[in-house]
């Protein structure tokens, strides 16, 4: 039963991720990224990691994407920018992406048609709980967590400095 929910949700998430890459406008890419993160939180729900799903929505789809949208609108990026036109003309990148998508679809269809699904990995009962995430975050990954905090603080200070108008 879970596979009937997982595969459409995974396909939805992959299509939205492709929408991020192939969208012509930066705002459209950011909206596709927000929807992709919501699909990813749905995958966490299927995996019974409800706490991680909520964190995905609150932190990434909420706070981080608000910061991205603020920066995009602050920079006033337009679709007729040279960088966007160069990206559209990159035939090699498009061909390689198409090949990778076809290979991924082949592997996915091959796995779906294989009727002998193996047993899933044994997941502990504490997977995705508040205690497990907090313990892991503040014991094993405390240095990357603090570095990410400092980088986010620097990004906020930079955004404030960029948005501040000159007072003469």
Q: Give the pLDDT confidence of 14-43 residue by residue, as tens digits.
A: 999 998 888 888 888 888 999 999 999 999
Total domains present in the chain: 1
More confident residue, 42 or 125: 42
pLDDT at 168: 47
In a domain, 39, yes or no: no
Residue 90 burial by Cβ neighbours in a 10 Å radius (0-12, 13-18, 19+):
exposed
In a domain, 161, yes or no: yes
Boundaries of domain holding 165: 125-168
How far is it, in rounded angstroms, from Cα 16 to Cα 45? 18
Q: Angle CA(105)–CA(35)–CA(40) in degrees, nearest 5? A: 60
Dihedral sign from CA coordinates of 101, 107, 110, 111: negative
Q: 146 pLDDT exceeds 90? A: yes
Q: Give the pLDDT confidence of 41-95 residue by residue, as tens digits.
A: 999 999 888 888 988 898 888 888 887 877 777 776 555 556 555 655 666 777 8
pLDDT at 139: 92
Instruction: State the residue for tokens 């400095």.
Output: 161
Q: 117 pLDDT exceeds 90? A: no
pLDDT at 85: 58
Non-local (6+) Cβ contacts of 56 within 8 A are 37, 40, 41, 44
In a domain, 139, yes or no: yes
In a domain, 37, yes or no: no
């Amino acid at each position: 039963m879970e596979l009937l929910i997982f595969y459409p949700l995974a396909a939805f998430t992959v299509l939205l991720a492709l929408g991020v890459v192939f969208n012509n406008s930066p705002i459209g890419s950011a909206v596709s990224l927000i929807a992709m993160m919501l699909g990813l939180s749905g995958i966490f729900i299927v995996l019974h990691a409800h706490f991680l799903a909520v964190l995905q929505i609150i932190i990434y789809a909420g706070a981080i994407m608000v910061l991205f949208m603020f920066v995009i609108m602050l920079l006033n990026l337009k679709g007729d920018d040279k960088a966007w036109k160069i990206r559209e003309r990159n035939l090699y990148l498009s061909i390689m992406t198409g090949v990778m998508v076809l290979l991924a679809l082949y592997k996915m269809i091959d796995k779906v048609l294989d009727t002998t699904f193996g047993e899933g990995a044994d997941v502990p009962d504490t997977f995705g709980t508040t205690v497990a995430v907090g313990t892991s975050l503040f014991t094993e990954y405390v240095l990357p967590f603090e570095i990410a905090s400092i980088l986010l603080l620097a990004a906020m200070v930079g955004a404030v400095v960029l948005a501040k108008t000159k007072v003469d």
